[in-house]
Structure 1
Amino acid sequence: MPRRSLLRALGAVGAGTMGLALAGCGVPAAYVEPGDRAGRDRSGRERALDFANWPLYVDTDDEDSSKRPTLDAFTERTGISVRYTEEINDNDEFFGKISPALMNHQETGRDLIVVSDWMAARFVRLGWVQEMDRDRQPNVARYLDPQLRHPAFDEGRRHSVPWQSGITGIAYNRAKLGREIRSTEDLWAADLRGKVTLLSGLDESFALLMQGNGVDITGWTADDFHAVCDQVEKLVKQKHIRRFTGNDYIKDLSTGDVLACQAYSGDVIQLQADNPDIEFVVPEEGAELWAESLMIPNLAGHKRNAEALVDHYYRPEVAAELAAWVNYVCPVPAARDVLADSDDEELAALAEDPLIFPDDAMRTRLAIARDITADERRDFAKRWNSIVGL
């Protein structure tokens, strides 16, 4: 199952309401001041680190799935061993798992984690992650995609570094539909009634729909949000939208039960391998560029080792190897030249895939949405979840 499609909407309200519930129970504020975030760094005497990631989100050896070539190369080069766990299956579930330690100023047992940027925004707001030392990360400073450098929640990417990126756009079966889809508005055409699905997760779905209405998602407003909700409510009543989905849109699109849907770029690359009639569109009005990012939790015992691993993955040759395996938008554009120079035809072809390395024309239509603030989340999630049936 493609990794990104594991994200579900159920937790979208959970972590957002957690702080409100705690405040109502007399629990001390969860925010951690900058001076209380660093722990005693044992990197010098303990050449190790603990890295928590999502399933299927790092390359594995074709003949031995227990081997992870890019991680093994890091250990061989630096002497730092990596205890790698695939324990993150849902952003909010993981938030709930480690939040008791973070709010009580305790170690989490993890030196490096990967969460979606909308969740990363919460960690930054709460002061639960440490600022990285860019002097120790020359590859990040040099090669990080300029379009991903300045998210609203973490200006300058001081606390976060993209692990992989991707695009939320539209996937459709051109052969069965019999025409092209060029814009989000095309989803509402009469011949698609009952054959369209949208993503159920608030954080995964709203930006593309706003862009379809001509909204600049880098600075959207509450009025923009409620306009989308009004629109979607009407489409639900008209039975135009078949249903709201998590990962199961992949099956619906493959079987033909659905002809067009909101989708993630990385999923579609894998679907196209089995069905070349499946196409992915960045609508004329634009699509959302998102990232899932590496972060170092407070009191991590191996901060310098973690910073070294982050920088390892920003070596173009390492980024190219990872991109060839996971098929998401690579946050290191320089990796494209590495793949293009490969003697392997399949690898060289990936360098020309705009869903891994977006071209300039596509990039002009991509934007990073501002995140939902803590004050907004409860009411927004309540309304959205009532529409999608969560």
Structure 2
Amino acid sequence: MTVAARRTVLKGIGAAGALGALAGCGVPAAYIEPSERAGKDLSGRDRRLTFANWPLYIDTDDRDRARRPTLDAFEERTGIDVRYTEEINDNDEFFGKISPSLMNRQDTGRDLVVISDWMCARFVRLGWVQEMDRTRQPNVARYLDPLLRTPHFDEGRRFTVPWQSGITGIAYNRRRLGREIRHVSDLWAGDLKGRVTLLSGLDEAFALLMQGDGVDITRWAEDDFHRMCDQVERRVRSRHIRRFTGNDYIKDLAGGDVLACQAYSGDVIQLQADDPDIEFVVPEEGAELWAESLMIPNLARHKRSAERLVDHYYDPEVAARLAAWVAYVCPVPAARDVLASSKDKELAALAEDPLVFPDGALRERLAIARDITPEERPDLAKRWNSLVGL
């Protein structure tokens, strides 16, 4: 499993632009008022819920892949039957699948979904998700990582709760390169000409590149974006940047065609198992911390049960078991102590991995980027896609 396979490129204007066009053609306004979001909750008598997630994004039993230990434990403890589907392969594709129901004030058939935060921002702005009741979620209230509590699109995480998190930084092969990389500017050294790749997705790529230019990504402006694009454009023309990639950067880096690239922390952990010379670096200027989050869509039939399931995954014991399997940045820092106390050497070592549990010094260099607004997106996407060649 790779993060890049999930954090996919938003092409052109995207779904937000399509919604705007529909609103001008006699289709009902997309925004849903808070008073219209809740449906009749059947949780008290209908002990089930439907949970839609990405493929390979939950722990499974090594001897029986149909079993999911952390999910099975919830079912056994609560008596709630969870229909778990791995139906999300692309943020935009999933948006297109469920948006007709949400726009027309219909139940999507799903009680809980996981999508990337930049797409969560769209759902929150449209009023397509329900506010969670934190009185039913004491673990979330207590254990959610402070770094992830206040994204710009959902202050206080009222509508979303991180499932897993990750870092966008730089991966490189130290043995082949023969030196360290510590700054974004190191990517532009002469010995890397034609051996560097950047991510093709606008939402995935822009923050780290801005940070390399000294920009505070929590409050970036359009001028910052265009200045960054000017620099990228020059390096595309000079052929310093080899190409823009999705998750195929993994193959390029592992094969040696590329010596350094924009990358996701979760991918590099997997690459290091086969090649310890591959390193992941959070540049001195900082890196983007992102999340993929749980949301309860409007009119979900089992809201209270869904809230219980979210809180289940914020129990440090449960979060530790999930982190040990998926190896992303765990949104529950308290899970580190659980793993550290394990008698299993591999699990105890995972507690010391800064790409799963960032230490204090690393955390100071991580930031959540301000999301791109619907008004900004058309022009910014057009500029970025012209560089990428989309």
Q: Give CA deviations for 1:118-173 in whole Å, capped at 9, x if unaligned.
A: 00000000000000000000000000001100111001000000000000000000
Counterpart of 1:224, as a letter, is D
Letter in 2 for 1:315: D
Matched position secondary structure for 1:67: coil
**Are 2:68 and 1:74 equivalent residues in the alignment?**
no
Alpha-carbon distance in structure 2 between the residues aligned to 1:16 and 1:264 = 26
CA RMSD of aligned residues (A): 0.9
Conserved? CA contact 1:12–1:92, under 8 Å: no
Residue 359 of structure 1 aligns with an amino acid whose one-letter code is D
For residue 92 of structure 1, what is the aligned residue in structure 2? Answer: 92
Aligned to 1:357: 357
TM-score of the superposition, structure 2-length normalised? 0.99
Aligned to 1:64: 64
For 1:386 and 1:79, the matched residues in 2 are separated by 52
Gaps of 5+ in 1: none
The gaps in structure 2 that reach 5 residues or longer are: none
Report the TM-score, using the length of structure 1 for normalisation.
0.99
CA deviation map 1:67-106 (0-9, x unaligned): 1000000001100110000000010110010000000000
Structure 2 residue aligned with 1:258? 258
Q: Shift of the alpha carbon at 1:24?
A: 3.0
Which whole-Å CA distance do the structure 2 matches of 1:72 and 1:4 have between them? Answer: 28
Q: Which moved more, 1:75-84 or 1:4-13?
A: 4-13
- Aligned residue for 1:119? 119
How far is 1:2 from its partner? 1.9
- The offset of 1:18, in angstroms, is 1.4
**In the TM superposition, what is the alpha-carbon distance from 1:265 to its structure 2 partner?**
0.2
Q: Identical aligned pairs, as a percentage?
A: 78
More helix as a share of residues: 1
Determine if contact 2:28/2:104 at 8 Å carries over to the other structure. no
> Cα offset for 1:325?
0.4
Structure-2 residue corresponding to 1:378: 378
Match for 1:341: what amino acid? Answer: S
**Distance in 1 of aligned mates of 2:365 and 2:194:** 28
Does the aligned pair in 1 maintain the 2:185–2:212 contact within 8 Å? yes
Q: Which residue matches 2:55?
A: 55
SS of match in other structure, 2:311: helix
How many pairs are equivalent? 390
Distance 1:250 1:5 in 2: 11
Once the two structures are superposed, residues 18-54 of structure 1 have per-residue CA deviations (whole angstroms, 9 ceiling, x without a partner) of: 1222133232210000000000000011110000000
**Paired residue secondary structure (2:376):** helix
Q: Is the 8 A contact 1:52 1:88 kept in 2?
A: yes
Residue in 2 aligned with 1:322?
322
SS of 2:44 mapped into structure 1 = coil
1:332, distance to aligned residue in structure 2 (A): 0.1
**Whole-Å Cα distance in 2 between the matches of residues 8 and 32 of structure 1?**
26
Q: Report the Cα offset of residue 215 of structure 1.
A: 0.2
Give the conservation status (yes or no) of the 8 Å contact 2:10–2:203.
Answer: no
Structure 2 counterpart SS, 1:226: helix
Counterpart code for 2:236: V
Amino acid at match of 1:84: Y
Q: For 2:12 and 2:55, how far apart are their aligned partners in 1?
A: 20
Q: Which amino acid aligns with 1:297?
A: P
* Structure 1 residue 354 displacement after superposition: 0.2
